[in-house]
Structure 1
Amino acid sequence: MSTSQGSAPHAGPEAAAAGSSAAPAVDPADQLARLGRSWVWLLGAAMATLVPGVMVLVWPEATLHVLAVLIGVYLLVIGGFRFVAVFGRDSDRVPGLIVAVLYVLGGVLCLRNPLQTIAVLSLIVGAVWLVSGIVTLYTAVATKNMPHRGIVMAVAALGIVAGIVVLALPTESARALTRLLGLWLVLLGLAETAVALAWRAALRRAGIAGRDVSGPGG
């Protein structure tokens, strides 16, 4: 009797340990997917585009070094936002990953040599915007069930136009190009804000979790 009574409390901790070990592990991919589907995350990416644009417009006399660092940080941050947003998509994630890598690569090139000319800086930003806009437009056209697909396509077209204009504009005036970069950053930031708000409306219509809704392209 005493032996059986002594073994009973010993089984309690083992059962508790077994129960705790059976708890479901947190999947990082699921966490990133939930974050990538959040409209707040998309709004954060829009603010990361809008704020540098406003800074460039209100501070056009900034040195080339400051401008290069600002643009480089902007590209890196947007690359991070785009990478997480990829996990919120249920369809092909390759185009989104390409865009994320492109932004990060552009940011590294800007920060690697902040004293490069405004022409090189514009070339990097213009190429990123152009390729990103093309990939995003392709994703929006290919994804039939994307909510507010027209808005996403319009933002992609705006990015394409921005890339073409920045790449094609003459580089004699650094001040003019600086203002142009700031203007396009503001326009893209406002357009991405519209996408984030439209995505919030889509999530509310789909339910609180919004798990059955595929994320915006790009």
Structure 2
Amino acid sequence: MTMSRGPASPAGQHPGPDGAAHRPAGDPADELARLGRSWTWLLGSAVATLVPGILILVWPDATLHVVAVIIGLYLLAAGTFRFVAVFAREGHERLAGLLVAVLFVLAGVLSLRNPLQTIAALSLITGAVWLVSGILSLYTAISAKDLPHRGVVAVVAVLAIAAGIVVLAMPTESARALTRLLGLWLVLLGLAEVGLALAWRSALRKALPRGPGAPGTSA
């Protein structure tokens, strides 16, 4: 999951501790943009990735139906987080983010459909989503020169690309092995996104005004 280009807010507006600029209430787009810039939103996305991976790893004998539901709900949740984050972006980054969000939601719906509940189909869907989203995130990390912690974003993107390639290339003879592989990559991606959220929090805190009367300082 990529971040907005920078923690800077429009003139006269200072970001809060969660990275959200204080704007007049009432505009849904502004509210979604404020939420999408929040480091806690990135952390929520990381948790939505990490928890399904842990469930799959600690429940290796779960039925295929259960695994499909876990993967499907993960993809739907990830798509929702990415959709909100789109409002914190600008220009071509917004379009790329929207495409990724739609891709995650569609993949989640497909994963929850009974006719597609085979481990091979789940691996194909999840691997393709990781590969495409990783490529788009890597493009953002390279092209957005003013993106805070570009290196962290690039690492997460490369990890997603690697996850997609490995899952797509894995032989399908062993459903148990593929299930554990999906769980392992979910955990790794979740931990990487936790690191991304913490890096974003650090960037936001550095952007906070430091002076008399500024939030978090004494007059």
Give TM-score, length-normalised by structure 1.
Answer: 0.82
Larger Rg: 1
Q: Which residue of 1 aligns with 2:73?
A: 73
Q: Which residue of 2 aligns with 1:180?
A: 181
Aligned equivalents of 1:168, 1:125: Cα separation in 2:
12
User: For residues 66 and 37 of structure 1, do their structure 2 counterparts lie closer, same or farther at Cα, with a shift above 3 Å needed?
Assistant: same
Q: Deviations over 1:119-143 (max 9, x none)?
A: 0110000000000100111111111
Q: Deviations over 1:162-210 (max 9, x none)?
A: 00000001000000001100000000000000000000000111117xx
Mapped contact 2:127–2:167 kept (Cα < 8 A): yes
Q: Which residue of 2 aligns with 1:13?
A: none
Mapped contact 1:69–1:114 kept (Cα < 8 A): no
Q: Deviations over 1:94-137 (max 9, x none)?
A: 11111101100100100122762110110000000000100111
Q: Which residue of 1 aligns with 2:84?
A: 84
Mapped contact 1:64–1:115 kept (Cα < 8 A): no
Give TM-score, length-normalised by structure 2.
Answer: 0.82
User: For residues 175 and 121 of structure 1, do their structure 2 counterparts lie closer, same or farther at Cα, with a shift above 3 Å needed?
Assistant: same
Q: Pairwise mapping of residues 5-84 of structure 1 onto structure 2 (< 5 A)?
A: 26-84=26-84
Q: Which residue of 1 aligns with 2:153?
A: 152
User: For residues 115 and 94 of structure 1, do their structure 2 counterparts lie closer, same or farther at Cα, with a shift above 3 Å needed?
Assistant: closer
Aligned equivalents of 2:137, 2:72: Cα separation in 1:
21
Q: Deviations over 1:134-167 (max 9, x none)?
A: 0111111111100000000010000000000000
Greater share of residues in helix: 1
Mapped contact 2:25–2:31 kept (Cα < 8 A): no
Q: Pairwise mapping of residues 65-214 of structure 1 onto structure 2 (< 5 A)?
A: 65-92=65-92, 93-113=94-114, 116-207=117-208
Identity of aligned residues (%): 74
> Which letter maps to 2:76?
L
SS of alignment partner, residue 153 of structure 1: helix
Give unpaired runs (5+ residues) of structure 1: 1-23, 209-218
Aligned equivalents of 1:145, 1:91: Cα separation in 2:
14
User: For residues 88 and 203 of structure 1, do their structure 2 counterparts lie closer, same or farther at Cα, with a shift above 3 Å needed?
Assistant: same
Aligned equivalents of 2:190, 2:147: Cα separation in 1:
20
Aligned equivalents of 1:138, 1:115: Cα separation in 2:
31
Query: How big is the shift at 1:44?
Result: 0.3
Give unpaired runs (5+ residues) of structure 2: 1-23, 210-219
RMSD of Structure 2 on Structure 1 (CA): 1.3
